[in-house]
Structure 1
Amino acid sequence: MKIILATSMSGLGGTENATYRLGRLLCNKGHEVLLASSDGPLVGDCREAGMKWQPIDFYNGGGLGYVKGMQAFFKLVRQEKPDIIHCQMARIVPACAVAAKLASPRTKVFWHARGLVAETYPKVVKIFRRLGVYIIANCKHERDKLIRHG
């Protein structure tokens, strides 16, 4: 399968490490993995593990930066036609889902929920459901919040 992991890789936190571990595992299982992210300390390790890297940053430059990131991501999805887009952060999910719907309708979009502020879940779940995004919870607590909010 062709899989795009979309995230920010600017730090050394849990999301960056989880992205690296997931991508490495998928590459080891024979999947083609493309990392669409900002640059950061683990990008070199991701490339060494077999992932291709496409520099796309949704987090730099405010609203205009987000739009530029969305345009770049749309071009990437149109070119690559992945089977799966796996979003590691909630902020990029709408851009990824819209890009998939327009550029590669058969592509499935997943979001890995890691702990939003509880008050945002009703809005996020409703929006992501309308966009056709599948949600994966990283623990029982996250799963329960997602179920509670739809």
Structure 2
Amino acid sequence: IHDVAVRFSKCCNPIPGDEIVGYVTRGRGVTIHRTDCINVINMSEEDRHRLIDAEWQAPDNTAGERYMAELNVYAYNRTGLIVDISKIFTERKIDISALNTRTSKQGIATIDISFEVASKEELNGIIEKIRQIESVKDIERTAG
């Protein structure tokens, strides 16, 4: 889209490689969402006419850009769990923007992690490494 303000939604944090859709806002240009964003899925019929097709620019046009990603990691809590997770980011020289953890009475830790990546491939590599950590049960990418 040319000469129109385009921004990425904070609810689903789309990154290159995701399937995306544009939402024409009232006065703020176009907001890009992932097609699996809960806000797009639950959009009223009245607002659906504001959705437009969108696609990523060629990779050479996005060189050096970083995109916010958020993961929810579910694991059996244990000593050293956070160290093991943070080591994956350290090895890749990726700063963690936010990390929040809580543990249920049943001993299940929910760890919310926000960080920046350059591509979906980089994100998928991080997810695969986290999956290999002892006691990790599941990983979800936030979708709104």
State TM-score, norm by structure 1.
0.31
State TM-score, norm by structure 2.
0.32
Structure ranking higher in helix proportion: 1
Structure ranking higher in strand proportion: 2
Of structures 1 and 2, the one scoring higher in RCO (CA 8 A, sep 6+) is 2
Pick the structure with greater CA Rg: 2
